[in-house]
Amino acid sequence: GTHLFDYKQKYMPGRNSKITPARCSKQARERIKEVALKTNTISGFATTSRIDGFLTKEGEVVVLDAQSITGMSPSTFLFDQAAESGMSHTQLINHLIEVDLYRYGLKSIRIKGSVVVDQDKKIRVGVLLGGDSHEREISLDSGRNVCYKLSSQKYEVTPLFVRADMQLFELMQKHLIKNKTNDIVELVSKKDEIKWADLPSRFDFI
């Protein structure tokens, strides 16, 4: 019902259709991939990124926005594209985290592209969600999705809510399940607050 991809189209459920792969020639898709990878390298991103742009009628790829992280709610393009490659939500999230653990030297053994995880010690993962931007509700949805999909055999997962004033709170499951950030704001209290400076001592990965 509109020619513009506006706020409602992007964020309101059921407003738009996402199509993967893009409806253009294979040659154009390869060009998009080439430009996206080059943009990723120039930007200094690692592991994953989100490159937004247009393909013009003349076949030129125009990059509008490059971000080091993509949305991670269950229906985002990241999971859509991963599914095209045969990867489930859980497989992709675990893969991204394990690749970064390897990159940071927290895991040193790699076999055939996979990381061998020490089963004797769970990796302590803190998942940030919320924040002070207009995307706080999407962040809540994405962060909750990550918390639910991480393997409990490998990871000790703690959801960390970032309030609009950038105060940080550790969430219990009864908080995490809430539908919107305002509901969580009303539930958290001083006893749930943690300091940003304490994150390195409490977690192996954020």
Query: Which pLDDT tens digit goes with each residue over 86-102?
Result: 777 788 888 888 888 88
114 vs 137: which has the higher pLDDT: 137
Cα 42-82-2 angle, rounded to 5 deg: 85
Share the mean pLDDT of the chain. Answer: 87
- The confidence score (pLDDT) of residue 14 equals 63
Integer distance in angstroms from the first to the last C-alpha of the chain? 40
Q: Which residues pair with 67 in a beta bridge?
A: 50
Residue in the block written with tokens 């509109």: 2
pTM of the complete model: 0.57
- Residue 122 has, within 13 A of its CA and on its CB side, a CA count of 14
Average pLDDT over residues 187-192: 94
Cα 119-98-116 angle, rounded to 5 deg: 40
Cα separation values, 4 from 58, 83, 103, 206, Å = 21, 27, 40, 35
**Confidence band, pLDDT 50/70/90 cuts, at residue 67:** very high
User: In which element (H, E) is residue 110 found?
Assistant: strand 110-111
14 vs 184: which has the higher pLDDT: 184
Cα separation values, 60 from 26, 28, 43, 56, Å = 14, 9, 20, 5
- The confidence score (pLDDT) of residue 111 equals 47
**Res 112 pLDDT > 60:** no
State phi, psi for 34 to the nearest 5 degrees: -60, -45
Average pLDDT over residues 46-64: 93
User: What is the DSSP-derived secondary structure letter of residue 116?
Assistant: P
For residue 200, what are the contacts with CB-CB under 8 A and spacing of at least 6? none
